[in-house]
Structure 1
Amino acid sequence: MPPPPKNSPYRLIVEGPDDLHAVTHLMKRHGFDWDDAARTRPFIESAGGIDELLEPLKRSTDAKSYARLGLVLDADLKVTDQWARVRGCFSSLGILLPDAPSAEGTIVDIQQPGLKVSRVGFWLMPDNQQPGILEDFLGRLVPVDDPCWAYADEVTNQSRARGGRLAQKDHAKGRIHTWLAWQKEPGMPFGTALTAKLLGHDSPEALRFVAWFQRLFS
């Protein structure tokens, strides 16, 4: 699957490669044709972390270089703190964001002379309202009747009691990787697991994300 051109006027910046592949393959499951050269497709950039995602936007005109710009980042431990950081970054560019992120994903249309960007969008994993990360979002795509999912949660907790070094803040990562390790093809990457339909594609959060993506880049 060839990527959209890097010089696309639409840009989606995500924290890391796991986010990139998860978004790409989730949207493909919903019929988004990344190969359709007749449509303007966002180039997805993996920043390499939250600092690497936001800091360049503060120091340069990167945020103003695209007709449409989307950011996907983890809410982490506190949604309000992460959103305040995002708001501060864009405030320094003269782009004012709402006081709180929308549960449906935040999109702001910009009509400001001298700015190329006309629309910016933000999605805080997992659902714009609760603390968490990409793996929490993907965990909600595990089939609800899968008996190993609850067990993966249990043994991930038990691992710490047995000397496992997984931090509590990384529990969601350990849980989903444990569950993926027990599949017929162990340890699939997230994008491959979506394509193989080990993971679903239509949780409420996933449907809201897809609707947000389509509104932002339609």
Structure 2
Amino acid sequence: MSDATPSARPPLSRDSVLRAALAIVDREGPEKLTMRRLGAELGVDPMAVYRHVPNKSALFDGITEVVWRSVDVDGIDVAGTWREELVGVMCSLRDALRAHPRAVVILGTRPVAGPELFALLERMLGRLAAAGMPPNAATAELLNILVTYTTGHVLAEAGEPVGGETDQPSDPGLNPSTHPHLAAVLADGWEHDPDRAYERGLRAFVDGWRHAPDPGERPR
């Protein structure tokens, strides 16, 4: 006789529902997430799910909460300037997003202003303030830019192509006579390294921030 009886099953909670929903998204993608599918995943009637999340929209919002909560800001082991702190914070965010690549599109399109995101931003701002970067509008703007950059980078790196895999060859066999500049780049030994590209772009943002003019300021 199986031990998987209803009495042995742990009681449902909002957290267990959201984590099961995220597991479905991780395996099958957000388009496969339905209340019926979630009920089957949890081994309960779909109506039981509605006691914890009122609708599918709230379910997607909850998934973003779970992912934001997984960002390990406190475990970052860096000591130095606010620039190094900021790089460490964003790399930690990238690690969390890469653990759930199919959920990244949800986070990128549902900017939920909830307690989990507020708690994450508070921890980020606290670390930066301790390293000498004040909690002001400019800092918030830079954080927003870097979160957008990080989310987009992970989506481009790990996102699944619309319509399935491309039929185009990985080596297009460029003819130097028709594409001399592209051929020169390839001949120079360029290879795409997503980790290196991400951190180099991140540092370019951070290091160049203080020199970037504010488009809203009037020229003097």
Per residue, is there more helix in 1 or in 2?
2
**Hey, which of these two has a bigger chunk of strand by percent?**
1
Greater relative CO, 1 or 2 (CA 8 Å, sep 6+):
1
Higher Rg: 2
